Structure 1
Amino acid sequence: MNTIARHLLITRDSHAETRLDLLKGALVADAIIPYLGPGLLRLGCAKSPLPHTPEAVAAALNERAPAPSKIRTNMWSVAQFIEQRRHRRTLQAWMAEIFAAPAVPTVLHTWLATLPLSLIVDSWYDGAMRAALIATGRRDVVEIQGVTRATEISDIWTKAYDLSGIELDRVPPVETVLYVPHGSIRPAANFLVSDSDYVEVLTDIDIQTPIPDQVKQRRSNRGFFFVGCRFDDQMLRTYARQIMKRSDGPHCALIDGSVLTRNERRFLAECAVTVIDMPIDKAADRLAGSP
């Protein structure tokens, strides 16, 4: 059954299965870009050892330095509170503690790592997609991470690494670019997390300056497939919108249609993102399983 609410297309049941089968073919053919979110960490386990929502990160930071109640559930504001009162080095160290446990790649990470994808976007800090790519033994992958300017002298937005963790001066021609716009625990504990981290980024992101050229080039003739993502915060919507900008489409999101907020519905409709309303475990089995 398909339903349209305020021009938002939501596919369910057999229509969702058909759409997912088409997406599987598109991923294998490198015709669509996976955009992975923290919800993917819950795949296949009752409780992830790592935070899988911004609210969970905020709670972990609050355990170390209680923030005022009015901002306590907002990760970006809590991080800013800590940075202002305890110094950036303290925030950096605590984020590294929170994400210190190695992320175990899910079945979907593992499957995606075997595909000749031009671009993978990983929007969380855990490093599971990187670990899955390392496990394949591939050498044709470069990871580009967003970095905070709080600890940088030069005028840069990102840093690039090979899968051994060596920082690269330039991005060589490779089959796959792993783009991690908010940074990651590995290999160098880069985190964009506080409000101040995003001030300059959000000032320039509308003209696309912070987005790497390799991402701009590889998205131009493809759409995006969002998995494990929510868009219930303006920061998340802004980043997704700008990363999608000037891409070819179509776009799809695997998400529970019943939990969508009004702002999420508006965002998805405006960006012409089709919602596939299916449990993530079932979808992952259908994508990663044998034909």
Structure 2
Amino acid sequence: MNTILTSDHLVIVRDSFADKLLDLAKEALAADEVIPYLGPGLLGLNCAEPPVPHTPEVVAAALNARAPAPSRIRTNMWSVAQFIEQRRHRRTLQAWMTDIFAAPVSPTLLHAWLARLPLSLIIDSWYDSAMRTALVETGRTDVVEIQGVTRANEIGNIWTKTYDLSGRELDARSGAKTVLYAPHGSSRPSQNFLVADSDYVEVLTEIDIQTPIPDVVKERRITRGFFFLGCRFNDQMLRTYARQIMKRSCGPYCTVMDAETLTRNEARFLAASGITVIDMPLSQAAARLLGTGKAAGCGQD
């Protein structure tokens, strides 16, 4: 069976229907009709050992190795980071996150392909900066990156900072062709990390009325849908951010995921958000998008 409608009204497509939906997504990306929403799963494309963590659980383990946290929170990245901030100070957490994500990450072929498309908006929900590097490597000068920043280091009503691809901080207002939005921050150019529970207290208080989301993101999503790649939604924080970033966009929405591994909360979120699941390995989906006919792996160093 190619298409499955679950009891929770979650649409899952497989086989030829999945191939067709990927072909449509590729056309929509080329036409700037959907927004790619990228997650840490992209780092695993044909790379057995990515140079930096590619799940929140791996980040939690890396932090826990530096400062053992209570067993009840040990696998939760946000809680372990909060434990470190409270016991060791924010500067220590910042330094350790910078060290954990210090290794340069070569963009995958998928990152490189996206970087060459005339996209108005790209969402990067992880800290690795591979998408930024792919954009730098194109030599483009019509791109800005907007990163979420922790309020712990700021005075005033500041939710984000804007950079050009050289790392120079810019005024928030920009007419750039492509906006790369990293809502949780990024390792480069300035080591902005939203990672501890405290980082999100004010953000989650305000996010329902959209205050922390940049105006340019709100403007550019209105006429577009979202295509999720390398994302999981097995934590309330991840679901909340995706839901609020999608808000008031027009659709369509789809994601590439292994349907058999979905948690109950993920399935409910995807169904409620109208996100169709393309049930196939991410490497296979990337290969079809790229037209290579084989797994899409890491770019060259």
2:284 maps to 1:282: yes
Counterpart-to-counterpart distance in 2, 1:170 and 1:184: 17
Paired amino acid for 2:38? L
In structure 2, the residue corresponding to 1:232 is in which secondary structure? coil
- Secondary structure of 1:46's match? coil
Q: Measure how far apart 1:290 and its partner are.
A: 6.1
Matched, 1:156 2:133: no
Describe the SS at the equivalent of 1:252: strand
* Amino acid corresponding to residue 184 of structure 1 in structure 2: S
Matches within 5 A, 1:34-73: 34-73=36-75
Name the structure 2 match of 1:221.
223
| Counterparts of 1:10 and 1:201, CA distance in 2 | 32
**Hey, what does 1:3 align to over in structure 2?**
4
Give structure 2 stretches of 5+ with no counterpart. Answer: 294-301
- Which of 8, 15, 18 lines up with 1:16 in the alignment? 18
User: What is the identity, as a one-letter code, of the residue corresponding to 1:178?
Assistant: L
Residue 98 of structure 2 corresponds to 96
Structure 1 residues not aligned, in runs of 5+: none
Partners of 2:291 and 2:179 in 1: CA distance = 24
The match for 2:263 among 261, 264, 279 is 261
Stretch of structure 1 that moved more, 42-51 or 20-29: 42-51
Q: Residues of 2 paired with 1:263 and 1:135: CA distance?
A: 38
Q: Does 1:236 align with 2:238?
A: yes
Indicate whether 1:171 and 2:138 are aligned: no
SS across alignment from 2:122 = strand
Output the amino acid matched with 1:122.
D
Q: What SS does the corresponding residue of 1:144 show, helix, strand or coil?
A: strand
Distance (Å, rounded) in 1 between the aligned partners of 2:172 and 2:194: 21
Partner of 2:120 in structure 1?
118
Query: Aligned partners of 1:44 and 1:135: how far apart in 2?
Result: 21
TM-score of the superposed pair, with normalisation by structure 2: 0.96
Distance (Å, rounded) in 1 between the aligned partners of 2:164 and 2:68 = 37
The amino acid that maps onto 1:218 is R
**Counterpart for residue 207 of structure 1:** 209
Aligned counterpart, 2:200:
198
Amino-acid identity (%): 72
Deviations 1:64-105 (A, max 9, x none): 000000000000000000000000000000000000000110
Tell me the distance in 1 between the aligned counterparts of 2:264 and 2:139: 43
Instruction: After superposing the two structures, state which structure 1 stretch, 204-213 or 167-176, moved more.
Output: 167-176
Q: Tell me by how many angstroms 1:171 deviates.
A: 2.8
Report the RMSD for the aligned CA atoms in angstroms. Answer: 0.9
Q: Which 10-residue stretch deviates more, 143-152 or 38-47?
A: 38-47
* Mapped contact 2:51–2:104 kept (Cα < 8 A): no
My pick for the range that moved more, 123-132 or 277-286, is: 277-286
